[in-house]
Amino acid sequence: MNRPSRLSIVIAPGPWDPGQWRDVFLARADGRPVSVWPDDGDEAGAAPYVICAWKTDPRVFEVLPSPRAVFSLGAGVDHLQVPGLLRDVPVARIVDPDLTMRMVEYVTFAVLHLHRQISRYAQDQSLRVWAPRFQTAASRVRVGIMGLGVLGEACGRTLAQLGFDVAGWVRTPREATSVQVFAGQEALGAFLARTEILVNLLPNTPQTRGLIGADVFARLADGARFVNVGRGETVVEDELVQALASGRLAGAVLDVFGTEPLPADSPLWALPGVLITPHVAADSDPDVIADQIIRNIERLERGEALAGRVDMTRGY
Ligand code: NDP
Ligand code: OXD
């Protein structure tokens, strides 16, 4: 492939505001052509071009089949597992301290919300009831994070600093860092048995899809609670509802769902002890994301390796 001196930029922002993304890229494009698909039509990519995408209509990869690279506008790349996107096209994702810190904030909030029994106190307040309850120290609470990648590792470090007893579950064996590490299917049982607050930060891949269901909930420690910030597809939602309704899970903070927006008739909305947020745990800040992608485009133009490159056969 010839090295292009200047790449044009096609943004395919799916459900996100196209105007905002056009503006942030135009402000940094330094004369490179910028277009939005499908708004600017199928001619958008005057070759050579890259595509910057978020949950876009996969047709973009059929009408613009030869991008020099595809950039996810977020950390996840499951939305890029689509027919039409050729296997040999390099794909990169966002790995950024701004996004990581947002996730650390959210997960710390969610674990503290569950640990400090806040939904019970909120309910008491609504009834004007003054009812102090025994509070366990963080050091006596075992948190388990499924997925100790860029985000899970950072969340684990902060929770450990707050005193929680933190472990993580990963695919590939590695040395323990700031937290204890369990690796692979054979270690999953031991990891779950010790876990009182389970945090899901797994990507959505063929191996993780539907992984967290009744069997996982049954193996957690008594009184376990659940935080889902990874992907809804990794959880069997009916079995989550059942585990919460039966008391197997004592509470949950849920940010991601198999179907988003979460349908109005989902039983999850009304379950006591469940806090729901609309996939906002670690929003992408368009200015930060565009800066990072432009730096990657410059790398591509210089013939250098992309930062945040993803192995799409592994799926994350
Ligand atoms: P990384 O790719 O850095 O880390 C993924 C982690 O998951 C790794 O530790 C990996 O293990 C582990 N993993 C993957 N597959 C398996 C498996 N089959 N069994 C066990 N462990 C597995 O991802 P990030 O930390 O950057 O992001 C994680 C996910 O968070 C994203 O994919 C996205 O879905 C979600 N996210 C959600 C947001 C929100 O707002 N709710 C915002 C941003 C991201 P190993 O270390 O062995 O490779
Ligand atoms: C992401 C997300 O993957 O927002 O960045 O979920």
- Ligand 1 atom with the shortest distance to the CA of 284: 42
Q: Which of 119-133, 141-155, 174-188, 220-234 has the lowest mean pLDDT?
A: 174-188
**Residue nearest ligand 1's atom 7 by CA:** 147
pLDDT tens sequence across 24-44 = 999 999 999 999 999 998 776
Highest mean pLDDT among 76-85, 103-112, 167-176: 103-112
Write down the pLDDT at residue 45: 61
Give the mean pLDDT of the chain. 95
Residue 173, both tokens? 């064996």
Ligand nearest to the CA of 310: 1
> Cα-flanking dihedrals φ and ψ of residue 148, to 5°?
-110, 60
Average pLDDT over residues 211-219: 98
Going from the Cα of 143 to the center of ligand 1, the distance in angstroms, rounded, reads 17
Going from the Cα of 296 to the center of ligand 2, the distance in angstroms, rounded, reads 19
Regarding the beta carbon of 77 and ligand 1, being less than 6 Å apart is answered: no
Q: Would the pLDDT of 1 be above 60?
A: no
Write down the pLDDT at residue 205: 97
Q: Which of 270, 261, 272, 251 is nearest to 110 (CA)?
A: 251
Average pLDDT over residues 306-316: 95
Ligand 2 mutation target, pool 284, 289, 316, most atoms within 8 A of CB: 284
- Ligand 2 atom with the shortest distance to the CA of 74: 5
- Ligand 1 atom with the shortest distance to the CA of 208: 18
Task: Identify whether 113 is a catalytic site residue.
Answer: no
Q: pLDDT band at residue 306, thresholds of 50, 70 and 90?
A: very high
**Residue nearest ligand 1's atom 8 by CA:** 149
Q: pLDDT band at residue 4, thresholds of 50, 70 and 90?
A: low
Q: Would the pLDDT of 161 be above 70?
A: yes
Going from the Cα of 79 to the center of ligand 2, the distance in angstroms, rounded, reads 10
Q: Spell out which residues line ligand 2, taking CB within 6 angstroms.
A: 74-76, 282, 284
Write down the pLDDT at residue 27: 98
Regarding the beta carbon of 308 and ligand 1, being less than 6 Å apart is answered: no
Average pLDDT over residues 280-292: 94
Q: What Å distances lie between residue 291 and 27, 48, 237, 238, CA to CA?
A: 10, 20, 36, 40
Supply the DSSP symbol for 138. G
Write down the pLDDT at residue 47: 77
pLDDT tens sequence across 88-113 = 999 999 999 999 999 999 999 999 99
Write down the pLDDT at residue 284: 77
Regarding the beta carbon of 255 and ligand 1, being less than 6 Å apart is answered: yes
Q: Which of 196-200, 227-231, 252-256, 280-284 has the lowest mean pLDDT?
A: 280-284
Write down the pLDDT at residue 21: 97
Regarding the beta carbon of 152 and ligand 1, being less than 6 Å apart is answered: yes
Write down the pLDDT at residue 3: 56
Q: What Å distances lie between residue 69 and 8, 42, 59, 80, CA to CA?
A: 11, 18, 16, 12
From the candidates 68, 115, 142, 231, give the one annotated as an active-site residue. 231
Pairwise CA distance, residues 67 & 70, whole Å: 7
Question: Max alpha carbon distance in the chain (Å)?
Answer: 71
Write down the pLDDT at residue 42: 77
Q: Would the pLDDT of 240 be above 60?
A: yes
Regarding the beta carbon of 81 and ligand 1, being less than 6 Å apart is answered: no
Going from the Cα of 213 to the center of ligand 2, the distance in angstroms, rounded, reads 22
Burial of 172 (C-beta count, 10 Å sphere; 0-12/13-18/19+): exposed
**Residue nearest ligand 1's atom 1 by CA:** 149
